[in-house]
Chains A and B, each alone.
Chain A
Amino acid sequence: MALYEGIALIQEKQAVVLDLGTDYTKFGFTGEAAPRCIVRSEFWCPATRRYRRLHDYRSAAELYDNLVHMLHQLYFRHVLVNPKERKVVVVESLLTPTLFRETLAKVLFIHYEVSGVVWADSPRLCALTLGAPAVLVVSIGAKDVEVAAVVHSCVVLHALQSQPLGARAVHAELARLLDEHNGGPLHLDDQVIEDIKVKTCFVTTRERAAQWSSERPPQPARDVRYGRVTVPGRARELAAEPMFQRDHELASLPDAVLQCVAACPRDVRRALAAGVLVTGGGAALPGLRARLAAELRHLVTQAPYRDTLHVREFKFHDAPSAPNACAWLGGAVLGAGEAGAGRVLAREQYAREPRLRDWVCLLDNTPPAHPHRAYLDI
């Protein structure tokens, strides 16, 4: 078996899959079940003598520099392959800024001379790891929570929901609760906050969350001594509450999910609700899926959804990977088959016309028979 694999590899170099997240970057080979490395999206900058975050940039030139350094580190420190003449599957959010995509394309094609790039959006890739026809992908990233409905490998674009309720929101709330308990600002580093969150925090149940906001709070979970900081039980339970806090704008996580379902065509709503997939690094918080399920089942019987949404059953998928590498795994599956090869943007093609297809661009989303098409093909 190993011999045949070797022969296949000589014919076509195994492509790499790149997922440049806000906090963590996932990088590895296609056809494998897990990424080779999950590292923080930052690199050592010798000029300033500190780590620099990939997504901290003010101009295109700065971003180009950041990407060159980051990819150099990924290729030569972690995955140890030549970037040249090798295909790349880029896993990206549907809401990636155009500047970022185009700069990344420039870095890959011009600086690293890769032979082709497959641009794939994360909701579809997450759905690909399940093989199910209708999936509601709730991806909880570092910054944003994105809810996208994928029906037969098509994203229902107008139903796409995004709220700034990712890990950063949890970190900010945890920092606030810790400051409150310890009396005064602690100025904890973001990585320390993350460590406290990972080791101690969980998402409390719906009943207890209601009790916490009532007159008589419940018996809190045990306090934890973390170095010189005391992490109170209240902070452990309530750190993830911003995700579920509802206001008049209905911008909480369960609201986003229900709004996404409501915006979808009527005949897939039931199938979508019966196929929810919670992914992203933020989804690893214990109890998050249970709480989301409880909230969804409760909210759907309340006003405004009670009358518009006649879905009562919510079911949850288990992806065949850790939640933080789910979209990456989709990219690895896509890139391994021949299906990925057909969707590749080859280097020659990019050289002829250096632009990327994008779903927001009228050049790409106007059908050929549309009357406006004539004005676009100049």
Chain B
Amino acid sequence: MAYLTQPDYVKYICSCGQLKPITSLYFCRHCLKIRCGFCICHEVDSHYCANCLENMPSSEARLKKNRCSSCFDCPSCFHTLSTRATMAQPRQVVQDPAAGGDTKVESKQPKKMYYLSCFNCRWTSRDVGIPDQPVASGGWPERTNPHAARVNQLLEYYKAIALQEKQEKIERERKKFNIRGKYITLTDKTGLTGAMARNIAGLPSSESSSSAIASFVPSQAKEEVEELPEDIFTKEVNLNQITSMPQRLASPEWQPPSVSRLHPLAKLLSVKRSQRCRACDHNLTKPEYNPGSIKFKIELLAYYHVPEVKIISHEPVKPGGKSALLLKLTNPTGHEMQLRLLQPEDIPPPEEKEEPKSIEKSLERSLNLEKDTSSLKPMEVVCSPTATSRVRAPDATLTLAQRDDAAEYDDDAQHDTNDIIMWRKSNKLALRLEVVTDEGVAGGAPAVAMVALQYSYRNTVPPAAAAAQPRDHTLYTTVLLDLGTVSSN
């Protein structure tokens, strides 16, 4: 829990150059690289309603405009509306002789009627004159956009124009062709006209498209514009009757200016997202389909794969001085881990291993050259983190045992301590290190120490059939430690 509330004291450098705490990083098992929310591809996985936890297939969600059909939000305060039931005595139908006898019998017993009510601001659907419904869910009147008809006209008009343009272009090209060649086209020979051919093929005839153009009436400008209402200078303003901007914009189609025109808002669906590595297109996380579940089918988080660094304590950092630093390292994987501390400069540059394996591969590459997308590489933030201090890295390889859930209950720490290792307990290790600060750092500046980790990683992905990949890898990561501020003396 400390991760949620505390500032991020320890930050890792992502492969794209961003600085993130380990809890917001991913680890791609296929590229063996750390990824973050900035350099991966987010995708919509499934739609669901956050209120009734109902799944909705994406095609249905598209048709329903991403709105839940049974849940509503309050148009006034955006709280979720609740359905209330009342016993309504139906109106006496005695005055209506045409209704017949059986309705009269039915009217004797009170009927359950439902309305929507907000428990937060006491808004009800009766306030705006929406009739009560006989069924508990659904059936609420839907409103249509007042401009929908006109917009449809516009759409048809511009579609017709585009079609006409296209036909004219084809016609022009055909004419060009006719001039050059002296062949008789099929239509000339058989007397089949273009309109008939179009009719047979089931295409819209050219007349219909031109009729959409002909029947379109451009907007007519009017001389008179709506004047201010006469009583605006004398009328008292009731602020409770006028909607605020968020209330208006919650329904972009209507944007009601007065409270009496507010309608319940169908609840917007939420999505579960899956994450994908941009480099290898493998999924990094994939949620379970059930909206109630917070688990993942695939969950490649850095927290489960990369050694975790925590600061236990440290001495105040002084310019030009040395101070002690106690770090805790944890191995989250199920395999033993060899770990070394390095200086960030000592990380070897990643070697390029690009050998075209077969002719097909090289052919593919040469094809790719044509549609050169090299300029479409994702932006890499070249951040040069400025560290004020260095961690004096001990020249020793540390071994971290695998994570063992049973060992959690073992209390006694193993004391194979030396001058670096303070204590060791199952997969955790406490280190006593020394931090050397630069001479020229001003007092009061934030003190940041940088250290690189070299760690062995065993890949547990089942290898592809052909390629026998090595299972053990040596990986590197760089960590920035926040050591408070540099003391001034």
Contacts and interface: CB of A to CB of B under 8 A. Distances in A.
B232 interface: yes
Contacts of B253: 33-34
B271 A80 contact: yes
Given A35-B252, A131-B154, A290 B228 contact: yes
Nearest to A220: B233
B177 interface: no
Interface in B25-42: 38, 41-42
Contact of B226 (A106, A219, A289, A352): A289
A130 B218 contact: yes
B145 A33 contact: yes
A222 B237 contact: yes
B148 to A, nearest CB: 5
B221 interface: yes
B225 A293 contact: yes
Contacts, number: 188
Interface stretch (A50-58, A254-262, A303-311, A334-342): A334-342
A7 B171 CA distance: 29
B135 to A, nearest CB: 23
Given A38-B249, A199-B237, A275-B221, A320 B154 contact: yes
Nearest to B374: A351
A333 B161 CA distance: 13
Given A202-B232, A329-B151, A337 B162 contact: yes
A76 B252 contact: no
Contacts of B151: 32-33, 320-321, 329, 332-333
Contacts of A226: 239
A351 B375 contact: yes
Interface in B258-278: 268-271, 273
Contact of B221 (A6, A81, A224, A315): A315
Given A34-B252, A290-B225, A333-B158, A318 B219 contact: yes
A337 B375 contact: no
A287 interface: yes
A199 B268 contact: no
A199 B239 contact: yes
Contacts of B252: 26, 28, 34-38, 322, 325
B408 interface: no
Interface centre among A2, A34, A287 (most CB of B within 10 A): A34
A352 B255 CA distance: 43
Interface stretch (A108-116, A169-177, A360-368): A108-116
Contact of A132 (B218, B237, B375): B218
A203 B227 CA distance: 10
Interface string A96-136: 00000000001001110100000000000000111111000
A contact face: mostly helix, strand, loop, or mixed: mixed
B411 interface: no
B161 A339 contact: yes
Interface string A235-274: 0000000000000000000000000000000000000001
Interface in B63-86: 63, 65-66
A179 interface: no
Interface in A313-327: 313-322, 324-325
B216 A131 contact: yes
Interface centre among A37, A82, A132, A289 (most CB of B within 10 A): A82
B38 A68 contact: yes
A132 B47 CA distance: 41
Contacts of B373: 348, 351
Contacts of A332: 151
A180 interface: no
A186 B176 CA distance: 74
Contacts of B235: 222
Interface centre among A33, A64, A110 (most CB of B within 10 A): A33
A39 B249 contact: yes
A78 interface: yes
A274 B228 contact: no
A110 B372 contact: no
B371 interface: yes
B266 to A, nearest CB: 12
Given A199-B237, A317-B219, A338-B166, 15 more contacts: A5-B63, A6-B63, A33-B147, A34-B145, A34-B253, A37-B252, A80-B271, A82-B44, A110-B379, A131-B216, A276-B221, A289-B225, A317-B221, A336-B159, A339-B161
5 closest A-B pairs by CB: A315-B221, A130-B219, A338-B162, A320-B147, A33-B151
Interface of B: 38, 41-44, 47, 59, 61-63, 65-66, 145, 147-148, 150-152, 154-155, 157-159, 161-163, 165-166, 216-223, 225-228, 232-237, 239, 242, 244-245, 248-249, 252-253, 255, 268-271, 273, 371-379, 381
8 contacts: A128-B158, A132-B219, A205-B227, A224-B239, A336-B155, A337-B161, A351-B374, A352-B375
